[in-house]
Amino acid sequence: MTTDSGPKSLSEITKDIGLNMSDVAILSGLDESTVCRLWDKTGWLDHISGRSLQSLMSSVPGIAEYSMSHSILKRRNLLVAELEAKGLAVDLEVLENSTVAQQYLLNALEAALHIVRKDATQKASSYLARFWGVEQDRALEVLYSTEHGLLKDPYKLVESSIELAPQLNRKTYSFHSILTLNILAHQVSKATGALMVELAPQVPGRQTAFMMRGVVMGLLISSNDLDLAERYRRELDMTPVYMALEEWSLPTYTRDGRISSDFGLPSSLLLRNTATEVLREIASHNDAYFYYLVSTYLPLALQRDPLFGFRITDLITALEQRGADCTDRKIRGTCNKLVKQLKERPGVAIPLPV
């Protein structure tokens, strides 16, 4: 969390702890001439070397905290001003109080700037492709949210995202463009609850498959459409490339697997982070998404890692608790079938009733 107290000189930062220029020089091991040159400058961070800054941070209380907060605040103010010039007002209260790390939120605001500024496709996709990950996705979710989001009105961002999509679609193959198209499709469908026709994929193969997954996940989360979850499951059964990308997505999203342009995973993979994320999703997401997990993703994941990141017992407990709350017969039946299969596995410790 940052506060807009303005830039401070070294003398202002050290005054409250009773250190003068000579004290700082002695404690940090820097030449007094170096400290003197920076002492009364509010912009001293722009003129100090990395090694000198490390010496100050490790020896003078308050320097490290100021360096971080000032750097974040400086970037934040610049992004807020640039976005406002493009017609996007940032909600500073949301920015200050979000549980997402400030750096991720600022990266998301910069992504918005790339999109609405209509930067070159390659530049925009190169930046946005770096948002494949749990925390990065959380930051984008806050960015695109229509309720209590980073932007007071994200309509222009959504509109610009849709305009960017056809440019990404025209690329015959680009790993970054495929990731970016998936990310944009996912966020737009999650924010609007609908698939915009401009996002319809034009290039067959992995790009179509991966984008379809992004759209489906967004719509499942926003619309709780059980029929969509069932159609997606059937599509994966019939289309190997869809199945391969489904298996690749969550482990790389959680960093259990390495992000690679061939969309491949190692034959042996421990889904430790994936298990943590799935357990969170079981507890927090709607029934349609839960059905997707028990009917589609979990059977696939358990083939890759039968230990499920050493969380099988936790998984059984979570499924039983969530399944008991489901009123839909299809969801409850699919969940119970998976639980039965897990309990019948050799070596599985069955959780005792409380």
Kindly report, residue by residue over 16-28, the tens digit of the pLDDT. Answer: 899 999 999 999 9
The alpha carbon torsion through 46, 52, 58, 60 (nearest 10 deg) reads: -70
Cα distances (angstroms) measured from residue 129 to each of 14, 255, 264? 42, 15, 17
pLDDT attached to residue 91:
97
Q: For a pLDDT cut of 90, what percent of the chain falls above it?
A: 74
In a domain, 351, yes or no: yes
pLDDT attached to residue 206:
76
Is the same domain home to 72 and 94? Answer: no
Kindly report, residue by residue over 308-324, the tens digit of the pLDDT. Answer: 999 999 999 999 999 99
Among 27, 54, 78, which residue terminates a domain? 78
Which DSSP string corresponds to 85-113? HTT--B-HHHHHH-SS-HHHHHHHHHHHH
pLDDT of 196 higher than 70: no
The residue with greater pLDDT, 351 or 32, is 32
Mean pLDDT of 12-40: 95
Which DSSP string corresponds to 170-181? T-S--HHHHHHH
pLDDT attached to residue 187:
92
pLDDT attached to residue 268:
84
Is the same domain home to 125 and 218? Answer: yes
Cβ count within 10 A of residue 296:
22
Rounded distance between C-alpha atoms, residue 312 and residue 250, angstroms: 17
In a domain, 182, yes or no: yes
Is the same domain home to 210 and 269? Answer: no
Mean pLDDT of 268-290: 96
In a domain, 242, yes or no: no
Domain containing 30 equals 1-78
Is the same domain home to 219 and 261? Answer: no
Kindly report, residue by residue over 82-119, the tens digit of the pLDDT. Answer: 999 999 999 999 999 999 999 999 999 999 999 999 87
Among 24, 50, 78, which residue terminates a domain? 78
Is the same domain home to 66 and 90? Answer: no
pLDDT band at 346 (very low <50, low <70, confident <90, very high): confident
pLDDT band at 122 (very low <50, low <70, confident <90, very high): confident
Rounded distance between C-alpha atoms, residue 180 and residue 161, angstroms: 10
φ/ψ of 124, rounded to 5, equals -65, -45
In a domain, 148, yes or no: yes
Rounded distance between C-alpha atoms, residue 334 and residue 85, angstroms: 51
pLDDT of 330 higher than 50: yes
In this structure, what DSSP letter does residue 282 have? H
pLDDT attached to residue 341:
95
pLDDT attached to residue 349:
56
- Residues 327-348 as b or e (16 or more Cβ within 10 Å = b): eeeebbebbbebbeebeeeeee
Q: For a pLDDT cut of 70, what percent of the chain falls above it?
A: 92
SS3 74: helix
Among 51, 78, 105, which residue terminates a domain? 78
Mean pLDDT of 34-43: 95
Is the same domain home to 4 and 93? Answer: no
φ/ψ of 90, rounded to 5, equals -90, 135
pLDDT band at 54 (very low <50, low <70, confident <90, very high): very high
pLDDT attached to residue 166:
80
In a domain, 70, yes or no: yes
Kindly report, residue by residue over 240-272, the tens digit of the pLDDT. Answer: 888 999 999 999 999 999 998 888 898 889 999
Q: Is 285 exposed, middle or buried (0-12, 13-18, 19+ CB in 10 A)?
A: middle
pLDDT of 2 higher than 60: no
pLDDT of 353 higher than 80: no
Rounded distance between C-alpha atoms, residue 312 and residue 161, angstroms: 39
Q: Given CA atoms 9, 10, 11, 12 in this order, what sign does their dihedral have? A: positive
Q: Structurally, how many domains does the chain consist of?
A: 3
Mean pLDDT of 281-288: 96
pLDDT band at 170 (very low <50, low <70, confident <90, very high): low
Q: Given CA atoms 307, 308, 314, 315 in this order, what sign does their dihedral have? A: negative
Is the same domain home to 98 and 133? Answer: yes
pLDDT attached to residue 4:
52
Residue 263, both tokens? 């969309």
In a domain, 211, yes or no: yes
pLDDT of 142 higher than 80: yes
Amino acid symbol at 281: E
pLDDT band at 352 (very low <50, low <70, confident <90, very high): very low
Is the same domain home to 180 and 154? Answer: yes
Is the same domain home to 125 and 214? Answer: yes
Is the same domain home to 100 and 207? Answer: yes
Is the same domain home to 142 and 196? Answer: yes
Is the same domain home to 56 and 153? Answer: no
33: domain CATH number is: 1.10.260
The alpha carbon torsion through 86, 89, 92, 94 (nearest 10 deg) reads: -120
In a domain, 344, yes or no: yes
pLDDT attached to residue 201:
46
